[in-house]
């Protein structure tokens, strides 16, 4: 390879890691996506609380509740079955994208679907996840919020003329923002986004994701609270 060809190759390599106006544009768009991810997390938690209260206590409330406080007797066996039946019907007649944990489906959308998610997924995923978790399913909010936040980012990106790589960036920004709002773990959300969803370490995608995460983290105290989702209570040994 001649020196001129090497120089051109090096220029292209460095350009792939450089910041340009489109990266700044995506960072600005991530402000909206981060806000959407935070509100998506708030909606998901409220839906889980509503499903839990409705199925286990027969009341309509969005306040957090523990199923260990229920007193429904033998119905405790039937409620998880009812919840799984409802979710199965949603997947059968709604969208098969709501099946599964959420992270594998997000990866599949990025790799094979050009980072395009539908409005139906954005609506059905949090709803089906709330029914599944609220009815006692052995699941958590991580996968659902990644899929829900990703759908918000993807839908927003589809409103503009963006490339598949740019749609992926906003999809991942929404997913990481939602995870940050749910768990209050911005660094973990960024690392998960890079390792599992982005498949790259470049400013063009890294910076918008960080912006979305920071925005969601700023919204969290107002929407969900500033405390840890799973607080650790220190136990004092008896007799001391």
pLDDT of residue 21: 85
pLDDT of residue 236: 65
pLDDT of residue 95: 83
Residue 135, Cβ neighbours under 10 Å: how many? 23
Cα separation, 177 vs 38, in Å, equals: 6
Q: Can you read off the two tokens belonging to residue 72?
A: 């429904």
Helix axes 203-223, 21-57, angle to 10 degrees: 40
pLDDT of residue 232: 66
Q: Which of 190, 174, 206, 233 is nearest to 35 (CA)?
A: 174
Cα separation, 184 vs 137, in Å, equals: 23
Contact 132, 112 (CB under 8 A): no
Instruction: Give me the CATH topology for the region 21-66+73-223.
Output: Clc chloride channel (1.10.3080)
Cα separation, 225 vs 17, in Å, equals: 37
Global confidence as pTM: 0.84
pLDDT of residue 202: 86
Q: Which of 167, 179, 170 is nearest to 207 (CA)?
A: 170
> Digits of tens for pLDDT over the chain (240 positions)?
565 555 445 444 444 556 788 899 999 999 999 999 999 999 999 999 999 999 999 899 999 888 888 888 888 889 999 999 999 999 888 887 787 777 888 888 888 888 898 888 889 999 999 999 999 888 888 889 999 999 999 999 999 999 999 999 999 999 999 999 999 999 999 999 999 998 888 888 999 999 999 999 999 999 998 877 666 666 666 655
pLDDT of residue 12: 44
**Secondary structure (DSSP) of 142-166:** HHHHHHHHHHHHHHHHTTS---HHH
Q: Which of 186, 128, 187, 176 is nearest to 152 (CA)?
A: 176
């Amino acid at each position: 390879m001649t020196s001129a060809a090497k120089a051109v190759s090096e220029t292209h390599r460095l350009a792939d890691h450089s910041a340009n106006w489109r990266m700044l544009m995506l960072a600005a768009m991530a402000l909206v996506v981060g806000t959407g991810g935070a509100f998506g997390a708030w909606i998901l938690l409220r839906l889980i609380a509503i499903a839990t209260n409705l199925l286990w206590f027969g009341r309509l409330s969005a306040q957090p509740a523990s199923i260990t406080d229920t007193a429904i007797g033998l119905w405790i066996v039937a409620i998880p079955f009812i919840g799984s039946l409802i979710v199965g019907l949603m997947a059968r007649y709604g969208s098969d994208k709501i099946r599964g944990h959420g992270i594998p489906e997000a990866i599949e959308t990025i790799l094979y679907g050009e980072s395009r998610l539908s409005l139906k997924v954005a609506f059905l995923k949090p709803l089906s996840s709330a029914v599944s978790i609220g009815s006692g399913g052995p699941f958590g909010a991580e996968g659902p919020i990644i899929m829900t936040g990703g759908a918000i980012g993807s839908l927003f990106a589809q409103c503009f003329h963006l490339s598949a790589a740019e749609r992926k960036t906003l999809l991942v920004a929404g997913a990481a923002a939602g995870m940050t709002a749910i768990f209050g773990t911005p660094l973990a959300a960024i690392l998960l986004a890079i390792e599992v969803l982005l498949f790259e370490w470049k400013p063009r995608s890294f910076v918008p994701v960080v912006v979305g995460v920071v925005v969601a983290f700023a919204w969290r105290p107002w929407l969900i609270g500033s405390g840890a989702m799973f607080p650790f209570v220190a136990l004092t040994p008896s007799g001391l």
